[in-house]
Amino acid sequence: MKTVGIIAEYNPFHNGHAYQIRRAKELTGADCCVVAMSGDFVQRGAPAVFDKYTRARMALSSGADLVLEIPPLFAAGSAEDFAACGVALLDRLGVVDALCFGSECGQIEPMMDIAKILCEEPEAYRKTLTDGLKNGLSFPQARQNALEAYLADADCFPKEKDSEAGDLSALLSSPNNILGIEYCKALLRRESRMEPVTILRRGSGYHDTHFQEKRSALSTDSAAPAEPFSDAPAYPSAAAIREILKKRSGQNDGGIRPYFTALSESVPAPVLTLIRDAYPLTPEDFSAILAQQLLALQLADRPLTDFYDVPENLAARIGKRTLEFAGFSDRCSALKTKQYTYTRVSRALTHIMLGMTAQDAGARKAHDYISYVRVLGFRREGKPLLAAIQKAAPLPLITRTADAASILDEISLAEFRRDLYCSHIYQAVLAAKSGRRIANEYTTGLREFF
């Protein structure tokens, strides 16, 4: 049984994701697809628009065979930590043969070349990176500048501009390329047996929030620019879909109903049904919880630098604005600088809000990121894959929350309970906003779908 893995957020799931799953199986000859998915909080430092179980069902209804959860500590981390944790999770299952991801580049070779440089960190590269950071550049911009300078001096990268793979600046600045390079870097560092496979992403940009009907194609033809596939879906970006979902308020679907026709052309039919029944959340829904946490930390005189990825100068900026009772997004906008992007600030605030500490992150990284495997759902066809993982993986497999205490050691159980805490925060906010009775992590049972 051959298996392909995908690392994803599905925030939310759309036609492009369904196409990737189908195409990944075709390209690798895989019988099964296992997805390592963010839970209730995602990599841009925000709550997921829909809860993790709803998003897992979306994936399972559209071709995925098994969905596993990336622990929230790293799901809401930097691109490097998100990729490293996702790769560690799939790699340690012992059954995944290939890792498939989308990219604007569409070619593995240039991304692997850059990943090797990032792994080796030559002295010239490190010096330029350090200089950029000292001059106040954000880490992504400083790293891009350092790579461009190093590759120009080394004369080891194609200079042609007739494709995105040959355009170094585009390769280093496009969001899916950046994440793809991080996947490649994680694979190299682990000396993983998983083969990297990329699919060219075309159509709406990753950050495009305009909802338009666009033809888009995903291709892996590395010899020439991609031509649209006849079955390539029309879809907007996930960001554009989230903008539409913000229009839903209270328990009245009137704000979103006019968009269901357009959504029906952009998401698979089973996903549209799930969207109709689900209730979306936004960062603003967590504004009060964030404010309360900041106030409690101020009262306790606890340093904000205790928390994951919150450096001293950013901690000082956050502390000075504790009593500015703005919404979540307004706080991020007020705190961002040339050095700290909106997303970086949002992640820092999310780590503080959820009690994610630097000590916790260091301990988990020291133990290879993953101490257990959390199953969010599976298809009937995925049962053999689940059985193979139970046999091959050196990690405990959690299918029922109540079983964790009996199968995890003391350290892993403490990590698991911290992960449950994050989901329970999400569920509490969802219950308050929707007025619905929401299942918690102990009453939500593992389900077999489709």
Per-residue confidence at 214, pLDDT binned at 50, 70, 90?
very low
pLDDT score at 259: 66
Residue 260 CB contacts under 8 Å (≥ 6 apart), including other chains:
272, 276
Measure the CA angle with vertex 54, ends 404 and 332; round to 5°. 95
273 and 399 housed in the same domain: yes
Tell me the range of 316-320, 387-391, 432-436 where mean pLDDT is highest: 316-320
CA separation for the pair 141, 139 (Å, rounded): 6
pLDDT score at 448: 58
CA separation for the pair 267, 257 (Å, rounded): 15
24 and 145 housed in the same domain: no
Lowest mean pLDDT of 22-36, 63-77, 381-395, name the range: 381-395
Collect contacts of 236-239 with beta carbons under 8 A, ≥24 apart: 236/14, 236/204, 236/208, 236/210, 236/211, 236/212, 236/266, 237/204, 237/205, 237/206, 237/207, 237/208, 237/209, 238/9, 238/10, 238/11, 238/12, 238/14, 239/206, 239/207, 239/208, 239/209
Domains of the chain: total: 3
333 and 314 housed in the same domain: yes
pLDDT score at 425: 98
Lowest mean pLDDT of 74-88, 126-140, 186-200, 420-434, name the range: 126-140
**pLDDT at residue 449 is higher than 70:** no
pLDDT score at 18: 94
Taking only the tens place, the pLDDT of each residue in 216-273 is 333 333 333 333 333 444 456 788 788 877 765 444 445 556 667 778 888 999 999 9
pLDDT score at 162: 45
302 and 269 housed in the same domain: no
78 and 139 housed in the same domain: no
Residue 155's domain comprises 109-172
382 and 261 housed in the same domain: yes
Report, as an integer, the average pLDDT of 410-437. Answer: 96
Q: 10 Å Cβ neighbour count for 213?
A: 11
181 and 234 housed in the same domain: yes
The CA radius of gyration of the chain, in Å to the nearest whole number, is 21
Residue 233 CB contacts under 8 Å (≥ 6 apart), including other chains:
15, 16, 18, 19, 216, 266
pLDDT score at 51: 96
Domain of residue 13, CATH code: 3.40.50.620
Domain stop point among 361, 390, 412: 361
Collect contacts of 233-236 with beta carbons under 8 A, ≥24 apart: 233/15, 233/16, 233/18, 233/19, 233/266, 234/15, 234/203, 234/265, 234/266, 235/14, 235/15, 235/16, 235/203, 235/204, 235/266, 235/267, 236/14, 236/204, 236/208, 236/210, 236/211, 236/212, 236/266
84 and 185 housed in the same domain: yes
**pLDDT at residue 164 is higher than 70:** no
Taking only the tens place, the pLDDT of each residue in 86-137 is 999 999 999 999 999 999 888 999 999 999 999 999 999 999 999 999 888 8
Per-residue confidence at 203, pLDDT binned at 50, 70, 90?
low
Domain stop point among 147, 172, 197: 172
7 and 81 housed in the same domain: yes
Taking only the tens place, the pLDDT of each residue in 54-97 is 999 999 999 999 999 999 999 999 999 999 999 999 999 999 99
87 and 219 housed in the same domain: yes
Return the higher-pLDDT residue of 157 and 14.
Answer: 14
| DSSP H stretches of helix in 300-443 | 312-320, 328-335, 342-353, 358-366, 383-392, 404-407, 410-434
* Full-model pTM: 0.88
208 and 140 housed in the same domain: no
Domain stop point among 309, 328, 361: 361
> pLDDT > 90: what percent of the chain?
69
132 and 182 housed in the same domain: no
Pairing of strands 66-70, 373-379: antiparallel
